[in-house]
Structure 1
Amino acid sequence: MQSILICGGGTAGWMTALYLSHLYNRVEHRVDIQLIESSAQPPVGVGEATVHGIRHFLQLLSINEAEFMQATDATFKLGIEFINWKKAQNGQTHSYWHPFDFQTPEVNGMDLAHCWLSQTHKVQDYAHSVSISPFLAKRGKAPKFVEMADYQAPIPYAYHFDAGKLAEYLKKLAVRRGVKHQVADITHVQVSTDATVKKITGIDTSIGRLTADMYFDCTGFRGMLMQALESNNQDNAENEWVDWSSELLCDRALAVQTQYPQGQAPALHTQAIAMNNGWRWRIGLQNRIGNGYVYSSQFCTEEQAAEELSQALNLPDNTEFKSLKMRIGHRKQSWLGNCCAIGLSSGFIEPLESTGIYLIEAGLRLFGEYAQSGNLPLIQQHYNRILNDIYADLKSFIVLHYILSDRDDSKFWRFWQTQRYRDPQLDAWLDLWQHKVIESSDFLAQKSVLFNQINYRFVVYGMGHLPQQPFVGVNPPAQQQLLAQMAAFCQQQPDRHPSQMQLLGL
């Protein structure tokens, strides 16, 4: 392979460009890499939160963390706070945290979840009993110290950032590292007429025909290159789109930016606040707040969603929103012939757990591992199977958030009361977890696990779904002592951390 053409810019396109430049040209120039993006099709640009794996991806690409955060107005993200996903309890709005903690299974030989479940009267909710992240966030404290190296910290973290500024920053880096950039509109995708060979032979654009040995489709939900390949493919069953719109109902989003009230500092966590027909996000950047309403068009019109979001944010009547239609599901084959789909052109799971950029990373890392080998049909088969398993894993975890809710105040929420049994694996787990602690062994049969027992504990226990019978610990006094030590640590340790504002130099 001597040449690569990436079609589409935005976060997906420029992450692809930088990764491929690192993969092939970091020691010496081996492959010509070109990216074209349309002037008429702006990128989606509303994905402003990530999971903590993004740190390792940026570190792999030798990106300076402070420079990246300054260029993208980034803030630290310690997790997600879910608000109003259950009925109010004792007049109090329900909320729980899903932090990024990768807790070791045991502390002093004891599992913190076992310790918490063994309490007869639980003093705090699960996340506040086992994680320091909510305490750091409440006090505006950064997860790392000033003297620490890029991407290193005792507390796992991700970022909030301006997606548009991220794409521009990555573009500058990629061009500086030798990626050729052109503004061009795709007019036609040339595909081989030989039924036995699935490959793109050229891209007709507003600046002429472009050719390459390998193509990357980063054209978003349109998936222009993949659509052309699939329409030329005789084996339709093999390439059908896996449609999850009946399992994940939220297929629309409205986004709007607001300013901070006087004196308010950026939060260190994403808020996911349940609404009548979906949920809204609140993401604090250095200079503004990103807001959006992810809703189901089956239960709500865009006008109704705009009114509901306006009321929640107390916005003027003439506020303009950015509107987005989301295609929920994924391609069975994201790598087909000489084309690989990355980002939205490959698939999309609604943004409840901020997995959009993770899926870009996953597709690129997999390509990097598999593209170095021979026997292309076999390599592509395994690549696509693994990516499909990743999508299925993420889908189940997102569905979990909805089916645990007891809300019945709208048709949208009443719908979820009937959906538990549509995911056999989730149904089996929830039955099992009525009788035992969520453990790593429960996931051994899973083909792909981004979210493991640690993540499931935060959501399931945060939503109040605990084992039915009282849990008896092996050493109750020692377990309660460990919880007390954890509580003291969470109260005292934040004092040692600098504030986020101090670390960002704001």
Structure 2
Amino acid sequence: MNNKVVKNLVILGGGTAGWITAALMCKVLGKSINITLVESDKIGTVGVGEATIPPIINFNQALGLDEKEFLRETKGTIKLGIQFENWLKRGDSYMHAFGTIGKNFPFCDFHHFWVRHRQNGGTESLWDYSLNYQAAKNNKFSPLGQIKGTNLPGISYAYHFDAGLYAQFLRKYAESKGVTRIEGTVDEVKLNPESGYVEKLVLEGGREVPGDLFVDCTGMAALLIHKALGVGYDDWSHWLPCDRAQAVPSALVKPIVPYTRSIAHEAGWQWRIPLQHRTGNGLVYSSRHWTDEQAREVLMSNLDAEPLADPKVIRFRTGRRREAWRKNVVAIGLSSGFLEPLESTSIHMIQTAATRLIKCFPHRGIRAEEVAEYNRQSQVEIERIRDFIILHYKANQRRDSEFWRQCEEMAVPDSLHEKMELFRRSGKAFRDFDDLFTEVAWQQVLIGQGVMPEDHHVIADGLSDSQLTDLMESLQTLIQGTVKQLADHDDFLASL
């Protein structure tokens, strides 16, 4: 497009998205480019993303962050999975536990052996063979690598933390490595009349901030990607009907459980996220089925401790920006799209977007091929995650409200329908290329939501009935014995 060396990167917007992007950029590209972040203390952030998934550990390690310091500074706790309550039916629950289940077999996942065992009369739950689940329900955690004397992997974990404190932690990190922060609000976005590129931001008071490449971290306002460049939005509310959330912190409850709770209600679901100093709560709901007042009443009557503030209403529209990168603007965070926080993917998608930008970072000019590849990867990622979230709504057996009946009856994307039918008929679940969620994650949610396989893989017939029984019993004994050796989660946090 042009041959000008990209030297000056401007990030508009702070919060979690802005400071994650700034931190990674300065760590990897700080010697090659100049990085400026523009934000205003007058503009609040959504600030409800407090639960994460295991890849954040690799991200923090890539930055060189010390885990204990990170957990202390962000009031963090350990997360071993997400417990879904009332999603299949009222009173029912299951967990999307991180890590593996059972034992890894070549060419055939463990759940096929479990399915055959159930067909033989076994009554054990799939989660009886999950170390993460058993540790979570017993409030245990130790950062095990591998279970001694076996080929079984140890605990897989992520974090709960205060997203505002995480942004502050990363701001301190980024500024120490040379990122320039400018306080101010944008009055005008100056575009080049010939190319349509953003040339500079004009701040309140007249200060100008020029740049070669701009990152839009302005949240749902999408000041650059949408308001300046006019990139449209694909609405997914026909698949994901919730369009509002209310969030409120409540007092700390002990013991601090090492998992997120997702509790389904008549027209939405409630999150409960335990931190060291408080509990994060929120209710995601459909405004077509509940008024804000009804949602507030449900949320406040289902807290497990006294509220520490008034609920904050957040309006959103699920979907994705049609282009995450147009001209010299890249949208990261809520400006690029929104998927409700059901599977704690928001912070992860910020981190993968920043990583993707580094991999596609322009050198001598912004090339159409780099932009197209960035947009292709962004679309694949969010659509795979979208399908996984839709699955929770579609595969329900609740007939107690119009909301859940509509979810069960809705048509879903072909990609999801085919995956569900393949699993129902054969028990086989395959991870798509670049799919965030593993086969084990899909298996847990499919089975937890009542999509039970009618068959198992032929490899599972390679064991005799007695060998199969011995396998199941020995795995349970091993997992239960390991859980007893783990520290209490509260004791682990106290050791920080």
Return closer, same or farther for 1:313/1:240 CA change in 2, 3 Å cut-off.
same
Corresponding residue for 1:254? 246
RMSD: 2.4
Residues 1:290 and 2:280 are matched in the alignment: yes
Q: Distance in 2 between matches of 1:343 and 1:71?
A: 23
Distance change (3 Å), C-alpha of 1:31 and 1:461: same
- Is residue 2:202 matched to residue 1:204? yes
Partner of 2:284: helix, strand, or coil?
A: strand
1:314 Cα offset (Å)? 6.7
Task: Give the 3-state SS of the residue equivalent to 2:165 in structure 1.
Answer: helix
Are 1:40 and 2:42 counterparts? yes
Offset of 1:259 from its aligned partner? 1.2
Contact kept? 2:201, 2:209, Cα under 8 Å: yes
1:5 and 2:10 are equivalent in the alignment:
yes
On the 8 A contact 1:144/1:155 being kept in 2, the answer is yes
Residue in structure 2 matched with residue 334 of structure 1 by the alignment: 324
Structure 2 stretches lacking a partner, 5+ long: 1-5, 146-152
Return the offset for 1:316.
7.5
Alpha-carbon distance in structure 1 between the residues aligned to 2:447 and 2:210: 53
Question: How far 1:499 moved relative to its partner?
Answer: 2.1
1:225 aligns with 2:251: no
Counterpart AA for 1:449: D
Corresponding letter in the other structure for 1:338 = N
Residue among 458, 466, 471 paired with 2:452: 466
The secondary structure found in structure 2 opposite 1:371 is: coil
Partner residue of 1:350?
340
SS across alignment from 1:118: helix
2: CA distance between counterparts of 1:422 and 1:217?
Answer: 31
Aligned to 1:401: 392
Aligned pairs (5 A) from 1:489-500: 489-500=478-489
How far, CA to CA, are the matches of 1:349 and 1:394 in structure 2?
Answer: 8
Instruction: Report matched runs for 1:159-170 at 5 Å.
Output: 159-170=159-170
Task: Assess if the C-alpha contact under 8 Å between 1:279 and 1:293 holds in 2.
Answer: yes
Find the residue that maps to 2:426 and give its secondary structure: coil
Normalising by the residue count of structure 1, what TM-score does the alignment of the two structures yield?
0.89
Q: What does residue 427 of structure 2 align with?
A: 437
Mapped pair 1:427 → 2:417: yes
Q: Deviation of residue 453 (structure 1)? A: 1.8
Q: Tell me the distance in 1 between the aligned counterparts of 2:433 and 2:243.
A: 27
Aligned length: 478
Q: Does 1:450 align with 2:455?
A: no
Provide the C-alpha distance between the structure 2 equivalents of 1:3 and 1:384, rounded to a whole number of angstroms: 22
Quickly say closer, same or farther: Cα 1:225–1:111, change in 2 above 3 A.
closer
Task: For residue 105 of structure 1, report the CA deviation from its aligned partner.
Answer: 7.5
**One-letter code aligned to 1:453:** E
Residue deviations 1:145-195 (CA, integer Å, cap 9, x gap): 59xxxxxx931110000111111111111111111112101111111222x
> How far apart are the structure 2 equivalents of 1:258 and 1:318?
5
SS at match of 2:28: helix
| Superposition deviation, residue 103 in structure 1 | 5.5
**Partners of 1:402 and 1:272 in 2: CA distance:** 13
CA contact under 8 A between 1:310 and 1:316: conserved in structure 2? no
Which segment is superposed worse, 429-438 or 201-210? 429-438
Partner of 1:379: 370
In 1: Cα distance, 2:134 partner to 2:259 partner = 11
Contact (CA 8 Å) 2:396, 2:450: kept in 1 or not? no
Q: 1:367 to 1:175 in 2, by over 3 A?
A: same
Q: 1:21 aligns with which of 23, 26, 31?
A: 26
Query: Per-residue CA shift, 1:119-146, capped at 9, x if unaligned?
Result: 23343322x2331112111222114159
1:150 corresponding residue in structure 2: none
- Look up the equivalent residue of 1:159 and give its one-letter code: Y
Whichever residue aligns with residue 115 of structure 2, its letter is: L
TM-score, L = length of structure 2: 0.91
Q: 1:104 to 1:385 in 2, by over 3 A?
A: farther
Q: Could you tell me how far apart the structure 1 residues matched to 2:307 and 2:367 are?
A: 56
Cα deviations by residue, 1:213-262 (Å, 9 ceiling, x for unpaired)? 1111100000101124423xxxxxxx43111122111111111111134x
Contact 1:38 1:186 in 2 (8 A): no
Pairing 1:299–2:289 present: yes
CA change 1:222–1:122 in 2 (3 A) is farther
State whether structure 2 residue 469 is matched by structure 1 residue 480.
yes
Change in CA separation of 1:2 and 1:183 when aligned onto 2, cut-off 3 Å: same
* Cross-structure match for 2:123: 123
Unmatched 5+ stretches in structure 1: 147-152, 232-238
Matched, 1:243 2:235: yes
SS for the counterpart of 2:234 is strand
Work out the percentage of aligned pairs sharing the same amino acid. 32
Deviation, 1:319, is 6.2
**Corresponding residue of 1:268:** 258
